Chain A
């Protein structure tokens, strides 16, 4: 016999879609309903399985090529061709530069190619967050509020700490997508500059701090307790290392 709540509030609660009032109502119910408690555990397992299996399939290179080709075929030509040509030449030059730079990085860090590529994606995500819309899905300096919002969406227990006393003020959090995976992001502010800390689950061993820079942004990356952390910003690299220290010594990360 299933519980009546199972089809309605339970799903919304699990997905972090209930209003505070409804969530509190469900939590009261949860204390006395073994069925819903068990089902929540099952839902967690199911979400874990889906996340771990990496089912997301990003667009193929040929699809991107075809779309770009078709898009250019249907856009007007004559009047705009001149500025557009320059536009594309500039883009091509920039790509070439990136290719050269990547080639160099590749030689120096061959064993860490993957890491470098990943850091590139994360720096891109950082840049996206600066360019479009609000940086936070939840804007709050309250650890519990941010954690409550993030946990449901990221699908794991996200360690959230405010370090305002140390000059790293928590501004909120959001969920971003890196390589097709949902990643929790904590947003801090240091000397009025934003810092994004990307956090996702990993099956890899703990690792010490690695640092690097791309597109004039600094990143620091470490793994601890089956989670990987990557902080990105244009603040002083020393500041990012300090944030790393704070996070690992807060015993949460």
Chain B
């Protein structure tokens, strides 16, 4: 079942392998770690290779990222099921009012942004990563995450608010 013809392998190398960065980046943010991301991204790439016969020639990045996402969720269910039911307490965070200035000061703080992004539940974290880091359109995000475009928009809205509050809090020293 894992046999690939030379032709298919070349097509796979041309169409899918250019998106290995995207695959790793999504896995890294969904799993919150490089080492797990490496394992899971590799597994996803091999699955993509096996399913390549079913690829209809559309958007190869979205197709690959969909497999990466599913592989990540399967891994999380098995290894860290708590994370999937993780919620972000919006009410608690909204009680602190941060000024845009406070946000600007930490604008380029890699560590704080990483921590803030990682406090978001996976389903909100992933839309932000796909939109802001990967530059995906709503249509692509909908295809990758299997949610309707309208939900992509509202998820992004909530994700951005959550990140904003998480950052504002961290700039006030509330969650170092």
Contacts and interface: CB of A to CB of B under 8 A. Distances in A.
Nearest to B155: A11
A241 B64 CA distance: 40
A49 B113 contact: yes
A15 interface: yes
Contacts of A43: 160
The interface size bin for chain B is 35 or more
Contacts of B72: none
A236 interface: no
Contacts of A66: 42
Interface string B4-36: 111001001100010011011100110000100
B135 A175 contact: yes
By secondary structure, the B interface counts as: helix
A41 to B, nearest CB: 7
B133 A56 contact: yes
Nearest to A12: B153
A129 to B, nearest CB: 13
A7 B157 contact: yes
A215 B157 CA distance: 44
Interface string A1-25: 0000011101110010100000000
Contact of B163 (A46, A51, A75, A153): A46
Given A8-B153, A84-B6, A153 B135 contact: yes
13 contacts: A49-B167, A51-B132, A53-B107, A53-B110, A55-B114, A57-B25, A57-B28, A59-B24, A59-B25, A66-B42, A67-B20, A74-B49, A153-B135
